[in-house]
Structure 1
Amino acid sequence: MNRLIPVTQVVTNSPPNHVSDKIYPRSFSGIYRQIRIAAGSMLFALYFGTVWLNWGGRQAVLWDLADKKFHIFGATYWPEDLFLLSGILIICAFGLFFITVLAGRVWCGYACPQSVWMWVFLWAEKLAEGDRRQRMKLDDAAFSQEKAVRRLLKHCLWLLISAATAVTFVGYFTPIRDLVPDLLSLELSGGVFFWVFFFTAATYVNAGWFREKVCFHMCPYGRFQSSMVDNDSLVVAYDAGRGDPRGSRRKDADPAAMGLGDCIDCEMCVQVCPTGIDIRDGLQMECIGCAACIDACDSIMDKMGYQKGLVRYASDNELNNGMKNLIRPRLVAYFFILVTMIGLFSWVLMTRPLMSLEIERDRGLFRYNGSGNIENSYLLSLTNKATEMRSAFIRVSGAGGINMSGLDEVKLRAGEKREIPIILEKAPASLQGEVTNITFEVSTSAEPEKRVAAPTTFLGPVFR
């Protein structure tokens, strides 16, 4: 039995918003708009505010590419910790799967950066050029001084938002407190200037010009939405059983006597849609689940004295037979996989050693020393990932009779990386072959149970 809701590709002879291909979303109000504003404000506060926080005398969140260190509040991560990034991305992917099975493209509507910035750019456009009808009229009008001023104001606002976005983004890789003064005094290096310019242009083009086209043609999420959503997923849906047949009428008219449903065919749901679709045609790939149509339709239902919810979050089963079934095997499976992955990631993060070890052998194979023993030389690279000074204790295991010359205890400052030369010697008579497998181990006084081990070999002559 197929439990997938088909995503409808709707083709119309003319776009619903205007005579051109441009979409002119109308202003509206409602509970879902307030939720979206709250979510967007929180994301803006996190994005623009976190970069200015300090922690322990440095920027709290800084991806220092020059020193190959990644500071996230009290923790410092190194290139060898990048596997943790893969874990985060996998967790985010499964989180997106879980959210999609539960409530469709709710991520796109409320938290996707493209959608959030698009709404901000639409607000700036409304501020400069007016609401939907005024913008349509302005576009159709001949060139004039007023049109030039309004257009200039709009693009200046767009560029200001884009520049602030770009500077903040680059500030996560270059200390923001140095970046901003250098920018204002035009003393940026060529590389930093390029990235500020690049991300300014990218934000300006994506959120200002491309807008919904990014969701249509560049984002793959809408393409596989239909394979994730099933008959019990909550999606933005039009209740055709209640709304059809559609038709205009007076407020005091009896729709039942006229043979009409509750939909008055005002097309407000179409006019407020940022992607320009008609939700009454069914779930479509272009729908980003922002619920703007729900707010618009509910306001019309209020004015007409009808019950709200003609367009609402509902599942296909709920619309067809009134059954709600939010808890189902696939959703439960995604939930347990997600919880398990978060638990494993947290365990790895908490138990990972804060001392790293790399070994490089001397280019020579081996040599005899003055005592007639065989020597091998190594270069150990130790990195203290902790935020305080730690003592590292070095030992070698895997073969008896090996003596180690060099430091066996090293004090490393927070974030310090040091190379330690080590010489191992062994009596020729104790060798059992040309190659002996050994292991260097490093532990710290702060975490003696967390040992970092690196295998290598001890080479000797061939005895025949």
Structure 2
Amino acid sequence: MTVATITFHRHPPQQIHPRETAGRYNRLRWAMVWFSQVIFYGTCWLRWDDRQAVLFDIAGRKAYLFGLVLWPQDALLLAWLLVLAATALFFVTALAGRVFCGFACPQTVYTAIFRWIEARIEGDHLARARRDAAPWGPAKLARRGSKFALWALVAGWTGITFVGYFTPMQPLLTDLAAGAPGPWAGAWIVGYALFTFVLAGFAREMVCLHMCPYARFQGVMFDADTLTIGYDQPRGEPRRPRGARQAEPAGDCVACNQCVQVCPTGIDIRDGLQYQCINCGLCADACDTVMTHVGAPTGLIRMMSAQPGGHAAHGYWREIARRLRTPRALAYLVVMAAVSLAMVWQLATRVPLQLDVLRDRQSLAREGADGRIENSYTLRLLNMREAARSVAIEVRDLPGGALIGPAVHAVEAGRVSTVSITVAAPPGERRQQPLRLQLQALDGSGDRAEAASVFFNPR
């Protein structure tokens, strides 16, 4: 297996102000920004059966995902989901490097939004750099104040939206309007908003370089077939400015440094693969613009693999198709398919009715008036459906065992109901006898659950 070599370069300490550019990668990046934020800001407003469609109700210890209601007993589904997400990230990385970082990572998405606001208020990258170096004055204070105010609005609404997935959004807004959101909701709104404000507004690429561990171990996930943004060195070298290209041999690179100016992490992609690169493709957009302007073929900087001759300038999807047939990609696909099938199987066999049996330890056993032995139990009946229903309790695997009292009980919708029962059976030869209690829903759904316990006989 070939492991990619990643060069570690010293990162400039000053604030980076990347130049704005246009191109297919930039359009794709902004399409992902819109797509992800429409989902994030909009999903919490969707309704389903007179409730919020997506809600993680911590107080009620359940989660609503449209028509699906999940309980703590379904925690294995969360584990499967985390495994699936991690494997999908590894799969995408093996195919096309850090495209998640460059296009879908929340840090990248919110940094792009905050930088767009900054550019609209403070001007282009040169104006922002000059303002950084200028002393504070009324003009600088006004622009910075306006920028911080808009950042605070975006961060504040982001915090409210985040909390709205754990507390119903409409009551939350009502409480906020009244100035009483509650300590838990208020602390999370302020904390998440401050987190967004600092990381997207000030830390920016420092998160990718110094806080995110993904940049450090990505090299073990790359191989010679992995597609990453790269510089076609044989075609581009030696670099020569346009005015000096006639006197000496020159490659297609005109040494304009546009690729460096647009890079959000401030690296030079022409120096080779570096851990700071997040595969956003903005350098490729800038280079294509310059190549078009000078009349040279585009693709000097492009998505390419380390294979000799790998990935021609316009063969991106063909290269992806080839990469899908490699052993590593196929292994990831097999794992994702297996995990997905496991999740589907668990959901298909999931019974929205649970039964727990608790022994009454104050009185293990007693003899009844008819000579039979009686044991008391406390049942916890969990009805996972959002409708109240009746259930029947039946004693199994205990010779002569029967319930004393009613066998049918009502259980509330989406609640845990506690029922006390007494089981009677003829005296047995053993001190302990096994029994099973079976729960049968009477609403025609066919839901049933059972639990094992022990029946005690006195000495």
Task: Tell me the TM-score normalised to structure 2 length.
Answer: 0.93
Deviation for aligned residue 1:318 = 4.8
Deviation for aligned residue 1:441 = 2.2
Deviation for aligned residue 1:453 = 2.4
One-letter code of the match for 1:461? P
Range that drifts further, 130-139 or 335-344: 335-344
In the aligned structure 1, how far is the partner of 2:293 from the partner of 2:429?
93
Range that drifts further, 313-322 or 218-227: 313-322
CA deviations over 1:13-60 (Å, ceiling 9, x no partner): xx3xxxx52111111111111111111101101100011111111111
3-state SS of 1:285 partner: coil
3-state SS of 1:180 partner: helix
One-letter code of the match for 1:197? V
Q: Is the 8 A contact 2:392 2:439 kept in 1?
A: yes
CA deviations over 1:329-383 (Å, ceiling 9, x no partner): 1111110110121111012112200111122111232122222222111111112
Partner of 2:357: 359
The one of 432, 436, 441 equivalent to 1:439 is 436
In the aligned structure 2, how far is the partner of 1:119 from the partner of 1:57?
36
In the aligned structure 1, how far is the partner of 2:206 from the partner of 2:61?
36
In the aligned structure 2, how far is the partner of 1:271 from the partner of 1:22?
13
One-letter code of the match for 1:353? V
Partner of 2:315: none
Q: 1:402 to 1:225 in 2, by over 3 A?
A: same
3-state SS of 2:331 partner: helix
- Counterparts of 1:107-256 in structure 2 under 5 Å? 107-250=100-243
CA deviations over 1:194-243 (Å, ceiling 9, x no partner): 11111111111111111111112222211221111111011111111111
One-letter code of the match for 1:433? R
Are 2:251 and 1:261 aligned? yes
Structure 1 runs of 4+ with >6 Å offset: 320-323
Range that drifts further, 165-174 or 74-83: 74-83
Are 2:283 and 1:293 aligned? yes
Are 2:334 and 1:307 aligned? no
In the aligned structure 1, how far is the partner of 2:355 from the partner of 2:451?
7
Range that drifts further, 439-448 or 168-177: 439-448
In the aligned structure 2, how far is the partner of 1:321 from the partner of 1:261?
19
Q: 1:181 to 1:30 in 2, by over 3 A?
A: same
Deviation for aligned residue 1:312 = 0.6
Deviation for aligned residue 1:306 = 0.9
Deviation for aligned residue 1:144 = 1.3
Are 2:381 and 1:382 aligned? yes
In the aligned structure 2, how far is the partner of 1:119 from the partner of 1:328?
34
Q: 1:372 to 1:170 in 2, by over 3 A?
A: same
Deviation for aligned residue 1:154 = 1.1
Q: Is the 8 A contact 2:304 2:311 kept in 1?
A: no
RMSD of the alignment, in Å? Answer: 1.9
The one of 238, 248, 265 equivalent to 1:275 is 265
Matched residue pairs, number? 450
Deviation for aligned residue 1:280 = 1.3
CA deviations over 1:288-324 (Å, ceiling 9, x no partner): 1111111111111111111111111111105569795
In the aligned structure 2, how far is the partner of 1:78 from the partner of 1:390?
18
Q: Is the 8 A contact 1:128 1:153 kept in 2?
A: yes
One-letter code of the match for 1:273? C
Q: Is the 8 A contact 2:305 2:311 kept in 1?
A: no
One-letter code of the match for 1:348? Q
The one of 347, 350, 359 equivalent to 1:349 is 347
Are 2:83 and 1:93 aligned? no
Q: 1:380 to 1:296 in 2, by over 3 A?
A: same
One-letter code of the match for 1:41? W
In the aligned structure 2, how far is the partner of 1:131 from the partner of 1:319?
38
Range that drifts further, 74-83 or 116-125: 74-83
Partner of 1:403: 402
Q: Is the 8 A contact 1:239 1:319 kept in 2?
A: no
Percent identical residues: 39
Are 2:369 and 1:370 aligned? yes
3-state SS of 1:357 partner: strand
Partner of 1:416: 415
3-state SS of 2:19 partner: coil
In the aligned structure 2, how far is the partner of 1:373 from the partner of 1:446?
33
In the aligned structure 2, how far is the partner of 1:283 from the partner of 1:436?
69
In the aligned structure 1, how far is the partner of 2:447 from the partner of 2:233?
62
Deviation for aligned residue 1:279 = 1.2
One-letter code of the match for 2:33? G
Q: 1:321 to 1:94 in 2, by over 3 A?
A: closer
One-letter code of the match for 1:268? Q
Q: Is the 8 A contact 2:398 2:425 kept in 1?
A: no
In the aligned structure 2, how far is the partner of 1:134 from the partner of 1:344?
55
Partner of 1:9: 8
Deviation for aligned residue 1:447 = 6.7
One-letter code of the match for 2:283? C
Q: Is the 8 A contact 1:182 1:188 kept in 2?
A: yes
Q: Is the 8 A contact 1:10 1:281 kept in 2?
A: no
3-state SS of 1:307 partner: coil
